[in-house]
C-alpha cells in the first residue's frame, strides 16, 4: 500500500499504527502524518487476554474516530484484518466510508473465522482484493454483491525484479557460491504453519535425497530460538540427512538475486491471497510451482507461467519438479510468459489506475 500511495502526490494519508518500525520513517519523509498508538494487540510486545484485546480495540476505534473528525478525512482505509477491527467502528461513528483491503483467504476448516469475515465484507463499503480469484472467493464465500469488490493487483518493482541473461545468472551464482550446474529451488516465506515448510521438507525435499544436483534455499525469517516452527524445520533437515541439499538463508535484503539465480520457486502454503513471491519470481523470469492456493491458477495456469498442483498432493508436487527439470524448453517458455504477464498486471501505472477509481467514487456516494 505504501508503494501505491508513494506514486500519487495528490494523496496525503493520515496513518494510525501501533508499530514503530522502518516504515514510520519512510512515511514521515514523505510528509505524511503518522500517529502511533500504545495498544498492544497484534504487536510482538506481549500476549494478551480477551478483555485486554477488547479494551485495546475500543481505544483504537476512539482514536480513529477523533482523527477522522479532527482532520475531516473522507475515507477510512483498513489495510488488514486487525486494522479493520481497530478502526471500523470509529469510522462508522464518524460517518465515513470504509475500504477494506483483503489480503488472504480462508481454508475450508476455518469456518468460525469465515463468519467474522462475512461480517466484515457485508459492512465495508468497498473491498479491495489482489486478484480475480480472490474476488471470486469473496463473492462465493462472503457476500453476493460483486459490485463492492474491486480487483487491484500488487505493484512489482520492475527495476529490481526483472529477468537476467544466462551469463548474468551464472555470474550471480558464482558471486553467491551457488554451483552453476545445480538445479536450484527457492522457497520464500517466513516460517510458520501456514507457509508449511515442514511438510515440504519431509514430503518433497526428502524425495530428492539421491539427486545430488538439486538444492533448496529457504528465504525468510528463520529464528530457531524464538520460533519453534523454524526449530522443527531445522531438526527435520538434520534427521533426514538433508543438510547438503538445504540452505536456510533467513531474512535477506536481496531476495531478487535469488529469484534470478533460481531455476524454480516453490509455494506449498496451506492458503494464500496472492503470494508475493509468486509475482516477484515470474517478474524475474523464474517459473513457479505451487499448490492450488488462491490466485495460483489465475497467474500460473491461465498465465502459462508455472505449474499448479492439487492441495496437499506432495507426491504430485515432487513429480512436477522432476518433470520440469527435464524440460528446459517448457521452463524457458514459462519464464518468458511470466515476464510478459507481470508487465501487464503488476506495473505501477496499471495498479494506480485501479486505485484512482476507488476513492472519488466513495467520496461522492
Provide the 10 A C-beta neighbour count for residue 270.
17
Instruction: Tell whether 177 and 322 lie within a shared domain.
Output: yes
Provide the 10 A C-beta neighbour count for residue 41.
20
Q: How far apart are the C-alpha atoms of 323 and 318, rounded to whole Å?
A: 9
Instruction: Tell whether 215 and 109 lie within a shared domain.
Output: no
332's CB contacts (< 8 A; 6+ apart) are none
Provide the domain count of the chain: 2
Calculate mean pLDDT across residues 65-89. Answer: 93
Tell me which residue of 169, 171, 190, 172 sits closest to 331, measured CA to CA: 169
Task: Provide, rounded to the nearest whole percent, the portion of the chain with pLDDT above 70.
Answer: 94
**Is residue 90 one of the residues assigned to a domain?**
yes
Instruction: Tell whether 220 and 131 lie within a shared domain.
Output: no
Residue 329: exposure state from Cβ atoms within 10 A (0-12, 13-18, ≥19): exposed
Whether the predicted pLDDT of 246 surpasses 90: yes
Q: Note the pLDDT tens digit of each residue in 130-144.
A: 999 999 999 988 887
Going by their DSSP bridges, the two strands 75-78 and 97-101 should be labelled as parallel
Instruction: Tell whether 23 and 43 lie within a shared domain.
Output: yes
What kind and span of H or E run contains 128? strand 126-129
- The pLDDT of residue 111: 63
Determine phi and psi for 171, rounding to 5 degrees: -65, -40
309's CB contacts (< 8 A; 6+ apart) are 289, 290, 291, 292, 316, 317, 320
Instruction: Tell whether 185 and 295 lie within a shared domain.
Output: yes
Instruction: Tell whether 59 and 92 lie within a shared domain.
Output: yes
Give the model's confidence band at 45: pLDDT under 50 very low, under 70 low, under 90 confident, else very high.
very low
Distance of CA 142 to the CA centre of its chain: 21
Q: How far apart are the C-alpha atoms of 294 and 274, rounded to whole Å?
A: 7
User: First and final CA of the chain: distance in angstroms?
Assistant: 23
Give the model's confidence band at 252: pLDDT under 50 very low, under 70 low, under 90 confident, else very high.
very high
Q: Note the pLDDT tens digit of each residue in 307-316.
A: 999 999 999 9
**Is residue 127 one of the residues assigned to a domain?**
yes
**Is residue 150 one of the residues assigned to a domain?**
yes
Instruction: Tell whether 146 and 183 lie within a shared domain.
Output: no
Write the CA distances from 146 to 126, 129, 165, 336, integer angstroms: 10, 12, 43, 33
- The pLDDT of residue 365: 47
Q: Note the pLDDT tens digit of each residue in 197-207.
A: 999 999 999 99
Instruction: Tell whether 86 and 202 lie within a shared domain.
Output: no
Instruction: Tell whether 108 and 135 lie within a shared domain.
Output: yes
Q: What is the dihedral of CA 126, 131, 132, 134, to 10 degrees?
A: -70
**Is residue 160 one of the residues assigned to a domain?**
no
- The pLDDT of residue 305: 98
Instruction: Tell whether 22 and 145 lie within a shared domain.
Output: yes
- The pLDDT of residue 359: 61
Task: Quote the cell numbers at residue 248.
Answer: 536456510
Whether the predicted pLDDT of 364 surpasses 70: no
Whether the predicted pLDDT of 362 surpasses 60: no
Structural domain of residue 355, as residue ranges?
Answer: 2-154+348-364
- The pLDDT of residue 4: 79
Higher per-residue pLDDT: 301 or 137: 301
Angle at 191 (CA atoms; ends 345, 236), nearest 5 degrees: 130
Tell me which residue of 102, 101, 83 sits closest to 91, measured CA to CA: 83
Q: How many residues does the chain have?
A: 365
Q: How far apart are the C-alpha atoms of 52 and 160, rounded to whole Å?
A: 42
Write the CA distances from 353 to 7, 106, 136, 356, 357, integer angstroms: 11, 28, 21, 5, 7
The CATH code of the domain that includes 237 is: 3.40.50.2000
344's CB contacts (< 8 A; 6+ apart) are 350
Q: For the chain, how many helices (H) and strands (E)?
A: 17, 12
Task: Quote the cell numbers at residue 269.
Answer: 502454503
- Looking up cell 474476488 gives 135
Instruction: Tell whether 335 and 354 lie within a shared domain.
Output: no
Give the model's confidence band at 360: pLDDT under 50 very low, under 70 low, under 90 confident, else very high.
low
In sign, the C-alpha dihedral spanning 326, 332, 337, 343 is positive
**Is residue 297 one of the residues assigned to a domain?**
yes
Task: Give the distance between the most distant pair of CA atoms in the chain.
Answer: 66
Q: Note the pLDDT tens digit of each residue in 146-192.
A: 889 989 899 999 999 999 999 999 999 999 999 999 999 999 999 99
What predicted TM-score, i.e. pTM, was given to this entire model?
A: 0.90
- The pLDDT of residue 110: 75
**Is residue 159 one of the residues assigned to a domain?**
no
Q: What is the mean pLDDT of the chain?
A: 91
Task: Quote the cell numbers at residue 113.
Answer: 473465522
**Is residue 161 one of the residues assigned to a domain?**
no
Instruction: Tell whether 90 and 196 lie within a shared domain.
Output: no
Amino acid at each position: 500500500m505504501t508503494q501505491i500511495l508513494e506514486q500519487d502526490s495528490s494523496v496525503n494519508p493520515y496513518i494510525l499504527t501501533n508499530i514503530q518500525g522502518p516504515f514510520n520513517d519512510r512515511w514521515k519523509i514523505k510528509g505524511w502524518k503518522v500517529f502511533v498508538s500504545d495498544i498492544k494487540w497484534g504487536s510482538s510486545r506481549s500476549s494478551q487476554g480477551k478483555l485486554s484485546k477488547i479494551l485495546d480495540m475500543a481505544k483504537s476505534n476512539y482514536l480513529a474516530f477523533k482523527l477522522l473528525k479532527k482532520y475531516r478525512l473522507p475515507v477510512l482505509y483498513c489495510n488488514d484484518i486487525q486494522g479493520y477491527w481497530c478502526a471500523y467502528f470509529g469510522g462508522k461513528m464518524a460517518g465515513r466510508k470504509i475500504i477494506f483491503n483483503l489480503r488472504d483467504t480462508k481454508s475450508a476448516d476455518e469456518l468460525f473465522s469465515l463468519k467474522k469475515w462475512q461480517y466484515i465484507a457485508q459492512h465495508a463499503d468497498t473491498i479491495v482484493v489482489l486478484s480475480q480469484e480472490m474476488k471470486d472467493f469473496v463473492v462465493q464465500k462472503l457476500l453476493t454483491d460483486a459490485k463492492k469488490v474491486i480487483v487491484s493487483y500488487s505493484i512489482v518493482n520492475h527495476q529490481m525484479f526483472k529477468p537476467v541473461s544466462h551469463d548474468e545468472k551464472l555470474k550471480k551464482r558464482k558471486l553467491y557460491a551457488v554451483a552453476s550446474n545445480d538445479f536450484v529451488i527457492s522457497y520464500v516465506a517466513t516460517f510458520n504453519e501456514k507457509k508449511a515448510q515442514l511438510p515440504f521438507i519431509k514430503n518433497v525435499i526428502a524425495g530428492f535425497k539421491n539427486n545430488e544436483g538439486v538444492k533448496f534455499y529457504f528465504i525468510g525469517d528463520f529464528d530457531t530460538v524464538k520460533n519453534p516452527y523454524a526449530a522443527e524445520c531445522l531438526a527435520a533437515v538434520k534427521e533426514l540427512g538433508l543438510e547438503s541439499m538445504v540452505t536456510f538463508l533467513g531474512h535477506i535484503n536481496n531476495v531478487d538475486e535469488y529469484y534470478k539465480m533460481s531455476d524454480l520457486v516453490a509455494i506449498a502454503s496451506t492458503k494464500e491471497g496472492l503470494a508475493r513471491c509468486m509475482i516477484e519470481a515470474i517478474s524475474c523470469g523464474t517459473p513457479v510451482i505451487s499448490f492450488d492456493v488462491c490466485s495460483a491458477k489465475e497467474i500460473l495456469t491461465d498465465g502459462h507461467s508455472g505449474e499448479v498442483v492439487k492441495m496437499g498432493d506432495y507426491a504430485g508436487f515432487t513429480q512436477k519438479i522432476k518433470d520440469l527439470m527435464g524440460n528446459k524448453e517448457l521452463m524457458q517458455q514459462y519464464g518468458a510468459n511470466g515476464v510478459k504477464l507481470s508487465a501487464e498486471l503488476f506495473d505501477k501505472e496499471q495498479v494506480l489506475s485501479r486505485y484512482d477509481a476507488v476513492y472519488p467514487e466513495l467520496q461522492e456516494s
